[in-house]
């Protein structure tokens, strides 16, 4: 019975080629569009889910009310907010400040690059427990002038994953010591960095 239906369908396709082509192309475009929408929605709804305890991580934002203007929501807060919270909420989970990630010149020997660098508190990796390739994230940012690189940046600048103790130059002025190397970050995250340095 199924063979009979298949033969009839193939005969109709052969007899009405233009009509069949329009239907097949339309069906293909519709299925491809639906698949792309599903993939996009899945990507957008999985942001930060690779992080352990992602549902317990919060970003503190500021609402600024300039006189005579509409309210503005900013993803940044004044520097003193974190110490103020720590002094008043003693049972607060780990809290870390990070800057907005500006671009800096990086140099190691003859290799130069322009990288997005975050400056973060030592507790940064207590909040964002990222997969480690080499080093200890618990103490990585506790020393001044220390940095953590992603695996791809460690390979780019030093030719290997384990770059612990190596030195890179930031903006031609600062010498920073690699304290740890982490896995490259997935695309479904708001963390957009290749280098994290200890806060100045």
Domain residues for the domain of 13 are 2-45
- Decide if 183 contacts 130 (C-beta within 8 A): yes
What counts of helices (H) and strands (E) characterise the chain?
A: 5, 9
pLDDT in tens, 7-26: 887 888 788 888 888 988 99
Is 61 a domain residue? no
Same-domain pairing of 120 and 25: no
Q: Quick one: 185 and 102 in the same domain?
A: yes
Residue 85, in any domain of the structure? no
Domain membership of residue 171 (yes or no) is yes
Q: What is the pLDDT of residues 107-155, one digit of tens each?
A: 998 999 999 898 988 889 988 889 999 999 989 999 889 999 999 999 9
Based on the fold, state whether residues 115 and 184 are members of the same structural domain.
Answer: yes
Indicate whether 153 belongs to any domain.
Answer: yes
Cβ 178 vs Cβ 99: under 8 Å? no
How confident is the model over 52-66, as pLDDT tens digits?
888 888 888 888 888
pTM: 0.76
Q: At a CB cut-off of 8 Å and minimum separation 6, what does 125 contact?
A: 137, 138, 140, 141, 148
Examine the domain organization and report whether 40 and 99 are in the same domain: no
Residues 6+ apart with CB under 8 A from 100: 75, 76
Q: Are residues 35 and 102 in the same domain?
A: no
Q: Into how many domains does the chain fold?
A: 2
Give a yes or no: residue 172 inside a domain. Answer: yes
Q: Has residue 73 been placed in a domain?
A: no
């Amino acid at each position: 019975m199924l063979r009979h239906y298949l033969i009839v369908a193939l005969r109709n396709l052969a007899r009405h080629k233009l009509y069949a082509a329009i239907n097949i192309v339309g069906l293909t475009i519709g299925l491809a569009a639906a698949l792309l929408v599903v993939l996009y929605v899945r990507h957008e709804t999985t942001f930060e889910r690779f992080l352990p305890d992602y549902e317990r991580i919060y970003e503190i934002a500021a609402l600024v009310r300039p006189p005579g203007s509409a309210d503005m929501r900013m993803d940044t807060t004044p520097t003193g907010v974190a110490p103020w919270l720590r002094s008043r909420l003693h049972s607060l989970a780990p809290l870390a400040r990070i800057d907005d990630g500006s671009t800096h010149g990086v140099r190691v020997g003859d290799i130069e690059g322009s990288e997005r660098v975050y400056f973060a508190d030592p507790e940064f990796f207590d909040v964002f427990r990222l997969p480690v390739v080499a080093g200890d994230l618990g103490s990585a940012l506790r020393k001044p002038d220390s940095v953590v690189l992603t695996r791809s940046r460690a390979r780019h600048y030093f030719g290997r994953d384990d770059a612990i103790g190596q030195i890179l130059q930031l903006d031609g002025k600062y010498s920073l010591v690699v304290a740890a190397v982490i896995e490259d970050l997935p695309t479904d995250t708001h963390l957009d960095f290749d280098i994290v340095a200890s806060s100045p």
